[in-house]
Chain A
C-alpha cells in the first residue's frame, strides 16, 4: 500500500499569510505524465470538498489562492493568502492504485 504522509499535522497562520502543506507518498504516483494526487478540504460536520486534482489542477469554483504543485512523491498545497473561511482540515489522497490512501490530515487555524 502507498503511505501518504502530510506535514505539518497542524499550522496556525495570520490572516493574509501564506500557508503551505506538504504531502509525501511512499512511492511515486506519477504515470503517463500525470500525478494521481488530489487535495481535499474538510470543514467540521461537512464532507470533504475537492480542491485540486492531478496534483495541480484546480477544481471549478475553487478560489485561485489555492494551488497545488509537486510530482512523483512530493507534493504541496499552498494557500497564498489565508482567509478565515479557510479554517479546515486538509487531506491529500492518491488514486494511483487500490487501496487509495489519504494523508492523516493537516489542521489549519488562524493565529
Chain B
C-alpha cells in the first residue's frame, strides 16, 4: 500500500524558513515523479513544485521560484521542500503526491494527508 507522510510544518515568522519532508513507502520511490501541492485555508489547490523520477528534472511555480527548493533522497525514500523567505501568502496545507510513473507529465495518483504551514508574526 502506498503511503506518503508529510512532516515539518508549523508556525514561522515572515522571512523565515522551514523544510518539509514527505516519507514514502509501499512503492519504488526512486522510479516515480513526485509533486508538492498546497491549499490555503478555505481555498483551492495550487501546484507548487515537482521532481521527475527519471532524469532528475525539477519544476517550480513562479510564486515560489527562487525561494523554494525541491529535492529527494532516494536512499531514504523521502521528498523534501526547503522553503525560504516565507510570506503570509505561503500559509497553506502542503501535500506531497506521487506520479503514476517516472515521467513528470503524468497523473498524480496518491496524496499524503498534508502538513500545515502558517506564516505569521
Contact = CB atoms under 8 A, between A and B. Distances in A.
Interface of A: 36, 38, 40, 42, 46-50, 53-54, 59, 91, 93, 95-105
Contacts, number: 55
Interface in B78-121: 95, 100, 104-114
A48 B61 CA distance: 20
19 contacts: A40-B45, A47-B95, A47-B114, A48-B45, A48-B95, A49-B111, A50-B109, A53-B109, A91-B44, A95-B107, A96-B105, A98-B47, A98-B104, A99-B62, A100-B35, A100-B47, A102-B46, A104-B44, A105-B45
A13 B65 CA distance: 42
B47 A102 contact: yes
Nearest to B105: A95
A91 B95 CA distance: 15
Contacts of B62: 99
Contacts of A99: 47, 59, 61-62
Given A38-B107, A95-B107, A53 B46 contact: no
Interface in B5-22: none
Contacts of B46: 102
Contacts of A98: 47, 50, 59, 104
Interface residues of B, number: 23
- Could you say which of A49, A54, A59, A102 has the most chain B C-beta atoms within 10 Å of its C-beta? A102
A53 B45 contact: no
Contact of B111 (A48, A54, A59): A48
Contacts of A36: 105
- Could you say which of A48, A49, A99 has the most chain B C-beta atoms within 10 Å of its C-beta? A99
A103 B37 CA distance: 14
Contacts of A95: 105-108
A93 B45 contact: yes
A42 B105 CA distance: 22
